[in-house]
Structure 1
């Protein structure tokens, strides 16, 4: 586009206005159809809204590295505010064959991320070049996605734990990414309330050992942490799933529970029908 003497139009395409300073209809001069000037809008755009604040949310996700790979766990509760509303929600999602993500935070944003990841995996498969996305690549994509949405001041209200094992090298990946784009990796990870309650347990039971736990020991550690979270976190549920990722592949268990004891509650002031 040629520079004009009217500085207010510099950097602005002619199609922003029908007339320029020299007169004449630009649509006639450049023989542009009216469809190029008309701003098309979706008739349903007003009905589609982004998440402004979390409404239906999930609580903690925990993860640890063990001898053969990665183990994650998350309960099946999605709370509607303070109401324990949905009790059969799967917050562990398989991405490809060797990666699983666990989501805390808003469930609608989690569904959006699931769709994004499914599209990514399909696109990669369609290249048919013999390569597949591993856990390290999924983690990089998640960190970029979350930071991009944060930079647009339209964050995805989630915290994710990404766990997986590279099928070729056997290198395990356990990493964290949240709505601010904060990222880190560690042998043990917890989101939300688990970052305060379960992490000390995980560090003592996993990181303070000379040798990493085997699969059976790792599952016992997971169950211990989920029991403590159920006792302490008002937004948790004694119904959870455990994901195991090894070099052979990834699998998510059916829902399970742990034995709990609430007899001590009778002696707690304010419990049940007590008045004093």
Structure 2
């Protein structure tokens, strides 16, 4: 190996010949998403008695710019599962097309068995792990909500490394820091699922979205919220944070030019 400062670590030219830089040339654009440009932030999910509620805002940020304000990041799969996406929007669109093709294939299958939320989560986690192993990861962190094979509420996450995690309430992005403490306060770990109603879960998600709107610079006051129950999937895509006001800022003392 060369030991001169300008060539540290390179094979010696007098032994191996000069390095052929033509291997570095490409004929097309770089296709690997190694630096996501347009991204979505938090997705929040909560189990309740008889189903799962999930929510996310409708913002896709171009770096720090709130560029796209009508991006729906909740995707319905079949009649019993919802996938919430955080992370790169282009990779989300790729996974969405993948889910559409799977949905079509499942509906045309002759055995009559459809993927439930647990099956779907297992499949997507394998997709993430395969792409990660190819050094071409899908830069997303997803939540899958629905029911497992036994008809019990199911909520689990998967990230770009293929790592999975399940809990009664989950969040991605900044929601993992701001929303999870709120949900743990409202629904302690020892709270039986039977004691959490659908209305309580939905109200808790609305409160989390409100806190994220005030505290997370990459969030928006317009959001989507969905519930999965035995009766089907209910999705509301253009909800607004209620009672939003920055009037409280006038009562804060110690900053700016305030003298009182």
Give the 3 Å change call, closer, same or farther, for CA 78–269 of structure 1 in structure 2.
farther
From 154, 158, 161, the equivalent of 1:173 is: 154
2:246 corresponding residue in structure 1: 262
CA distance in structure 2 between the aligned counterparts of 1:119 and 1:246, rounded to whole angstroms: 24
CA contact (8 A) 2:72 2:237 kept: no
1:270 Cα shift?
6.2
* CA RMSD in angstroms, aligned pairs only: 2.0
Q: State TM-score, norm by structure 2.
A: 0.82
- Report which of the two structures shows the higher radius of gyration computed on alpha carbons: 1
1:124 Cα shift?
1.9
**Secondary structure of the residue that 2:239 maps to in structure 1?**
coil
CA distance in structure 1 between the aligned counterparts of 2:96 and 2:110, rounded to whole angstroms: 22
Structure 2 residues not aligned, in runs of 5+: 1-26
Q: Give aligned pairs, total.
A: 229
Moved more, 59-68 or 205-214: 205-214
1:108 and 2:90 equivalent?
yes
2:186 corresponding residue in structure 1: 205
CA displacement, residues 92-140 of structure 1 (integer Å, 9 cap, x when unaligned): 0011110000000000000000011111122222222111111111000
CA contact (8 A) 1:65 1:212 kept: no
Moved more, 200-209 or 181-190: 200-209
Give the 3 Å change call, closer, same or farther, for CA 250–264 of structure 1 in structure 2.
same
1:33-48 alignment, distance < 5 Å: 46-47=28-29
CA distance in structure 2 between the aligned counterparts of 1:262 and 1:180, rounded to whole angstroms: 39
Structure 1 residues not aligned, in runs of 5+: 1-44
1:67 Cα shift?
1.0
